[in-house]
Amino acid sequence: MSKLKGKVALVTGAGRGIGQAIAVKLASEGARVVINDMDDAPANETAALVRAAGGEAALCVGSVTDAGFGDRFVKVALDEFQGLDIIVNNAGFTWDSVIQKMTDEQFAAVLDVHVTAPFRILRAAAEPIRALAKEEAAAGREVFRKVVNISSVSGLGGNPGQVNYAAGKAAVVGMTKTLAKEWGRYKVNVNCVAFGFIRTRMTQALSADNAPVAVAGREIKYGVQPALIEALETQQIPLGRMGTAEEAADGVYLFCSPESNYISGQVITVGGGITF
């Protein structure tokens, strides 16, 4: 398959889990992928998988929350591949607590990665996209570009212990709908995928053996109570199980494909039937 042949895709948080699956899926359809992760090793692992899937890869290692990251990310795409067609804002993490125990640092850090970072990346992409669209219009060509922002069922329906994460993911929906209206004249489809419960590091069964994950110098514990996982799969998820990273990536691909050329400003839930 080569529905994305010649397209240049940027994927944040692509070194592991869902982000890695997204990068590989887009590459399997012919895309050239700019891979971001905070660390070299996972970024290089994804690059190898992208190449094995038949795509080309370039790296942009570093934290999406760095002030100059957005400009650097876009520059890699333009310098390495001379294009900019798909942006997937996937990077993120959770740092949970009930509101009375949540610190200002906790709240701000989660909003920084889920809201400010995508804003800066999209702002950096705005002028190159405008210039490319102007050239294409002058040549009488209609070329569609894609932005896929990642939200969550927590952002649509709330989730106890995640006031920071839910607020950030709700903001992503507003960003998506606004940019769909601003960038429609440039033939950019801007949509949002809200993930339900997908099997990743964040949703593994909570255990004393789970090693904390280092994020920007912080040690953050991940995991979900086993009883909650059982309740989700037996009572709350209509399809009866958590999703895979590959199934999450398929949802993102829907909005990257040519079949979405007349769809913009929309949110779909990839959650096995969970609704709000």
pLDDT tens sequence across 238-254: 999 999 999 999 999 99
Domain extent listing, the chain: 8-199+245-270
Mean pLDDT, range 60-78, rounded to an integer: 98
Q: How confident is the model at residue 276 (pLDDT cuts 50, 70, 90)?
A: confident
pLDDT value, residue 144:
98
Q: Coil, helix or strand for 56?
A: strand
Which residues lie closer than 8 Å to 54 by C-beta, 6 or more apart?
27, 28, 30
Q: Which CATH number fits domain 8-199+245-270: 2.40.30.60, 3.40.50.300, 3.40.50.720, 3.30.70.100?
A: 3.40.50.720
Q: What is the pLDDT of residue 86?
A: 98
| CA atoms of 174 and 194, how far apart (whole Å) | 13
Q: Token digits for 163? A: 């006031």
Residues designated catalytic: 165
103, two tokens: 């610190």
211 DSSP assignment: P
If one compares 220 and 97, the residue with the highest pLDDT of the two is 97
pLDDT in the model for residue 200 = 83
203 pLDDT band, cuts 50/70/90, is low
**CB neighbour burial string for 37-69, b if at least 16 within 10 angstroms, e if fewer:** bbeeebbbbbbebbeebebbbbbbbbbbbeeeb
Task: Point out the least confidently predicted range of 39-48, 49-58, 233-242.
Answer: 233-242
Mean pLDDT of all residues in the chain? 93
Task: Kindly state the tokens that stand for 18.
Answer: 């869902």
Q: Tell me the average pLDDT across 100-120.
A: 97
Give the chain's largest Cα–Cα span.
61
Percentage of the chain surpassing pLDDT 70?
A: 91
Q: What's the confidence (pLDDT) of residue 210?
A: 59
pLDDT at 128 over 90: yes
